[in-house]
Structure 1
Amino acid sequence: MLYIIDTANLEAIEKAYNFYPMAGVTTNPTIISKENKNFLVILKGIRKIIGAESMLHVQAVSLTAEKMVQEAEYLNSVIGGNLYVKIPVIPEGIKAIKILKQKGIKTTATAIFTAQQALIAAVAGASFVAPYVNRIDNISGDGVSVVAQIVQLFDQYDIDAKVLAASFKNVQQVHNVALVGGHSVTVNPEILDAMLAHPLTDWSVNQFVNDWESVYGIGKTTIDVK
């Protein structure tokens, strides 16, 4: 499982990379615009924090294949590193993915709501496909089931592309995606923290400390006890 954080907030990214086994960062036009700062300054700041090897997913905003390709080439040149250009699964987007594959620029197919969209994008050359789990649920679908179908199709046809499940409302959705074999998830900072949180974990740790300190002294650690 690859864990990726879905934000453009530099403080949140730095915290995530400090504490968790992060594989990368995803952004989209909405997330970027919320920061209300220069676009390139944000992206270069992210790259500085995560390093050249970590994945950075950045979305093209054009609606024609020609312009999407131009955006992808530009982003690849100015941001660099392990970059994936996010392309929506509209006909122009699929065309762009095919062209970018030939040019050696990696892509993530986004705004996916069906397994067939994901399959077409992967066959066209996308490295990742991003189904929107909670948004599928919101239209009376089953987001986790769509992820499972994509995983099955990729296995069946021996496709190298990976599922990057996105759009989560809670930890249970993330867990269910993991159970059906989703290759990676991108989650916001709140869900990332919540994935480790449990009151009984906190209780257990506090109990261990209390029991230890009752014998060996408050604030003492294994290093201090001779």
Structure 2
Amino acid sequence: MLYILDTANINEIKRVLDMYPLDGITTNPTIISKERRDFKELLSEIRNAIGERMLHVQTLGTEAQDIVKEGEYLTKLLGRNTYIKVPVIPEGIKAMKILKAKGINITATAVFTPQQALVAAKSGADFVAPYVNRLDNISGDGVRVVLGIIELFNKFNVSTKVIAASFKNVQQVHKVSLAGAHAVTISPDIYDNLVKFPLTEASVEKFIKDWESVYGKGKLTVDT
């Protein structure tokens, strides 16, 4: 399982990078626009912060030729292990084939059905990103869609990986993990909540209380 952070906030990226295992960053035009900064400067700062971890960056074009140009530009700007996010619209599928022929990494995004994912995979996508919570919000079943994609990929020996996206809570992350998703991209607050549990915190408090009842307050002294 790859844990990827879905944000362009450099302070949160550095905090999570320091605290948790992190395999990369995903962004999209909405996430980047929230930072209200020069996008090239921001993306370059993110790349410097995460080193050679994956960085997924989305194009804005709606025609294949524009998507390809943007993908080439972003790859040149951000270097190795950059993945160009391309929506699974018809022109996006066309662009994926061209980008793949140029050796550029691709993440198919805005995926809502298993067939969209399979077509994108056959067009050269390295990752497909199904949106879990957005499906749930319209009375769909995001986890079932993720499972359907994984079943298709396994059935036809497809090497493309599933990076499940769009989460509202930890339970959704847990369910797509059980379904076999290769990666999840999550917000910083959801990542924090993955490791939080009341009984864990209560256990730590009891350990400290029991220790201090005998030895008093203070940390362990370690001889060096």
TM-score greater than 0.5 by the shorter chain = yes
- Equivalent residue runs for 1:86-125 within 5 Å: 86-125=85-124
Distance 1:178 1:73 in 2: 32
Structure 2 equivalent of residue 25 of structure 1: 25
Q: Residue 185 of structure 2 aligns to a residue in which SS?
A: strand
Which ranges of structure 2 fall in alignment gaps of 5 or more residues? Answer: none
The letter for the 1-side match of 2:107 is T
The letter for the 2-side match of 1:117 is Q
Q: Residue 86 of structure 1 aligns to a residue in which SS?
A: strand
Q: In the TM superposition, what is the alpha-carbon distance from 1:36 to its structure 2 partner?
A: 0.3
The letter for the 2-side match of 1:97 is M
Q: In the TM superposition, what is the alpha-carbon distance from 1:138 to its structure 2 partner?
A: 1.1
Identity of aligned residues (%): 60
Structure 1 equivalent of residue 81 of structure 2: 82
Structure 2 equivalent of residue 69 of structure 1: 68
Q: In the TM superposition, what is the alpha-carbon distance from 1:222 to its structure 2 partner?
A: 5.4
The letter for the 1-side match of 2:127 is F
Distance 2:207 2:158 in 1: 48
Structure 1 window deviating more from structure 2 (213-222 vs 65-74): it is: 213-222
Structure 2 equivalent of residue 196 of structure 1: 195
Cα deviation digits, residues 84-125 of structure 1 (max 9, x gap): 000000010000100111100000000001000000000110
The answer to whether the 8 Å contact 1:7/1:26 transfers is: yes
Question: RMSD between aligned alpha carbons?
Answer: 1.2
Give TM-score scaled by structure 2 length. 0.98
Q: Residue 209 of structure 2 aligns to a residue in which SS?
A: helix
The letter for the 2-side match of 1:119 is L
Cα deviation digits, residues 39-89 of structure 1 (max 9, x gap): 0111011011100x2000000000000010000100011111210000000
Distance 1:104 1:4 in 2: 23
Distance 1:29 1:173 in 2: 24
Structure 1 equivalent of residue 125 of structure 2: 126
The answer to whether the 8 Å contact 1:170/1:191 transfers is: yes
Q: Residue 22 of structure 1 aligns to a residue in which SS?
A: coil
Give TM-score scaled by structure 1 length. 0.97
Structure 1 equivalent of residue 11 of structure 2: 11
The answer to whether the 8 Å contact 1:5/1:189 transfers is: yes
Distance 2:219 2:7 in 1: 39
Structure 2 equivalent of residue 220 of structure 1: 219
The letter for the 2-side match of 1:84 is Y
Distance 2:113 2:67 in 1: 22
Which ranges of structure 1 fall in alignment gaps of 5 or more residues? Answer: none
Q: In the TM superposition, what is the alpha-carbon distance from 1:217 to its structure 2 partner?
A: 2.6
- Equivalent residue runs for 1:153-172 within 5 Å: 153-172=152-171
Aligned length: 224
The letter for the 1-side match of 2:181 is G
Distance 1:214 1:97 in 2: 64
Structure 2 equivalent of residue 35 of structure 1: 35
Distance 2:108 2:21 in 1: 24
The letter for the 2-side match of 1:172 is Q
The answer to whether the 8 Å contact 1:213/1:220 transfers is: no
Structure 2 equivalent of residue 177 of structure 1: 176
